[in-house]
């Protein structure tokens, strides 16, 4: 019944969303936008049902955040000032608010590493949506998918305008990677992160194209603000790619700016502590240690992988970085499948391996090196960070999804599709006709 009532909201959103200028001017047709959104909604509902009926009670992040937001929302009827204080964060550390926090499970974290507690962002998001959702969790899923869809369309537009990705490839990499589609469609932090990343890259693309509009700068500032209250490390992972890409454009060179920017930033994070600035290596190391200790405190975690303790040594970081990259790329593999939940992730990693092989066999020699280095930089850094700090494969599958569009864009752009099309034209011409019809349907 809860799902049925929510369909009124869903029908309104599906009718309205292609009419919003940001989506209307994206290059994707109204039908394409509606199909994309519908896919995400189906996956978001599926995730709720999986968490509700497959996972043990109390272990689902979606319901934990949602239940905490009910406590926050209840303050509106009791004391609106308390509600506003907790929503805005202004004075939310007042002692009298502890009776709300005592009823919550995820508002307070044991470990914050002097960073913003991003649990609060999801809880606040839910509490705001409850103003008009009647506490229907499916409505919340539809709303967060508007934001995550906007982020993915922003990435699509960046790939088309700046990276010069073919439109069908750009749409495939933002819409169809299984982990991205599944976990990026849930009522989780990932939807907010995808929104922030997409808006950041969209703003950069607009700034690159237009010198006379202030709007992209406002979008840029807004995206940075969203990053500051969500997974800030995703922003840190994409900054080297952005800096090196535009340094290469400014200098007319490719490899020297790329290597120079990355080397300076890598050395720089190890120098920061000596200047009295944040010790990033120590924060990453502590995060890994605390994650390992937390997993050991649980009775049994099926997807746990043994991980050597990370130190703040420079070379230790390099070695662990390569190890983390490999783990994030290829695990779980088919021999590590231990339940139904790990099958899609294992199959996805098999597809990744096959695409890597295909990109080597059918190598595209007409590549824009600057674009490929951008894609490679963000993918490698985020995958390495995730693999270094996450000893649980189930969590790793979620943490890597912001970089998945860039990984698959990198691989698909590296394949010589013209050679493959020539082969298909002589053997299966119907395949090319289907591709043409699909493009006409999905794009303006």
- The predicted-structure confidence for 14-70, as pLDDT tens digits, reads as follows 999 999 999 999 999 999 999 999 999 999 999 999 888 877 666 788 999 999 999
Collapsed DSSP state (helix, strand, coil) of residue 106: coil
Q: Where are the beta strands (DSSP E) in 221-352?
A: none
Average pLDDT over residues 188-217: 91
Q: What confidence tens digit (pLDDT) does each residue in 238-274 have? A: 999 999 999 998 888 889 999 999 999 999 999 988 8
Q: What confidence tens digit (pLDDT) does each residue in 171-199 have? A: 999 999 999 999 999 999 999 999 999 99
| 80 against 292, higher pLDDT | 80
Asked if pLDDT for residue 439 goes beyond 70, the answer is yes
d(CA 66, CA 149): 21
Q: What is the pLDDT of residue 263?
A: 95
Asked if pLDDT for residue 103 goes beyond 90, the answer is yes
Q: How many CB atoms lie within 10 A of CB 399?
A: 24
Among 142, 228, 155, which Cα is nearest to 187's? 142
| Neighbouring residues of 256: CB distance < 8 A, sequence distance ≥ 6 | none
Asked if pLDDT for residue 110 goes beyond 70, the answer is no
Share the mean pLDDT of the chain.
90
Q: What is the DSSP string of 203-253?
A: HHHHHHH-SS-SHHHHHHHHHHHHHHTS-HHHHHHHHHHHHHHHHHHHHS-
Asked if pLDDT for residue 277 goes beyond 90, the answer is no
Q: What is the pLDDT of residue 241?
A: 95
Average pLDDT over residues 209-215: 78
Sole residue written with tokens 């539809």: 142
Q: What confidence tens digit (pLDDT) does each residue in 305-345 have? A: 888 888 888 999 999 999 999 999 998 888 887 777 778 88
Asked if pLDDT for residue 97 goes beyond 90, the answer is yes
């Amino acid at each position: 019944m809860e799902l049925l009532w929510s369909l009124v909201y869903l029908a309104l959103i599906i009718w309205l969303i292609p009419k919003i200028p940001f989506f209307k001017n994206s290059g994707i047709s109204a039908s394409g936008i509606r199909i994309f959104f519908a896919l995400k909604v189906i996956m978001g509902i599926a995730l709720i049902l999986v968490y509700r009926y497959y996972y043990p009670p109390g272990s689902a992040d979606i319901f934990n955040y949602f239940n905490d937001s009910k406590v926050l929302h209840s303050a509106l009827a009791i004391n609106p000032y308390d509600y506003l204080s907790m929503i805005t964060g202004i004075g939310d550390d007042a002692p009298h608010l502890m009776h709300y926090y005592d009823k919550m499970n995820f508002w307070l974290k044991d470990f914050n590493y002097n960073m913003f507690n991003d649990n609060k962002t999801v809880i606040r998001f839910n509490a705001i949506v409850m103003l008009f959702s009647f506490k229907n969790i499916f409505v919340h899923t539809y709303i967060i998918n508007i934001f995550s869809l906007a982020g993915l369309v922003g990435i699509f537009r960046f790939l088309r305008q700046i990276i010069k990705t073919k439109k069908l490839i750009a749409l495939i990499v933002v819409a169809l990677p299984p982990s991205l589609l599944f976990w990026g469609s849930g009522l989780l932090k990932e939807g907010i992160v995808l929104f922030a990343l997409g808006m950041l890259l969209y703003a950069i693309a607009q700034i690159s194209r237009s010198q006379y509009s202030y709007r992209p700068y406002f979008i840029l500032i807004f995206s940075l603000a969203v990053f500051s209250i969500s997974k800030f490390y995703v922003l840190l992972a994409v900054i080297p790619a952005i800096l090196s890409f535009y340094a290469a454009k400014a200098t007319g060179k490719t490899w020297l700016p790329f290597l120079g920017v990355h080397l300076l930033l890598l050395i720089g994070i190890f120098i920061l502590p000596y200047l009295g600035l944040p010790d990033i290596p120590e924060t990453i190391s502590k995060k890994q240690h605390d994650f390992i200790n937390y997993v050991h405190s649980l009775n049994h975690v099926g997807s746990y992988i043994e991980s050597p303790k990370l130190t703040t040594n420079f070379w230790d970081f390099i070695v662990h970085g390569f190890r983390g990259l490999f783990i994030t790329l290829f695990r779980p593999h088919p021999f590590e499948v231990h339940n139904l939940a790990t099958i899609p992730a294992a199959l996805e990693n098999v597809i990744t391996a096959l695409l890597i092989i295909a990109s080597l066999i059918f190598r595209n020699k007409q590549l824009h090196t600057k674009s490929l280095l951008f894609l490679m930089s963000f993918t490698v850094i985020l995958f390495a960070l995730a693999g270094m700090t996450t000893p649980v494969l189930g969590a790793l599958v979620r943490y890597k999804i912001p970089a998945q569009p860039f990984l698959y864009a990198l691989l698909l752009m590296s394949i010589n599709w013209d050679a493959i099309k020539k082969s298909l034209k002589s053997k299966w011409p119907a395949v090319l006709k289907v591709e043409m019809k699909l493009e006409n349907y999905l794009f303006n």
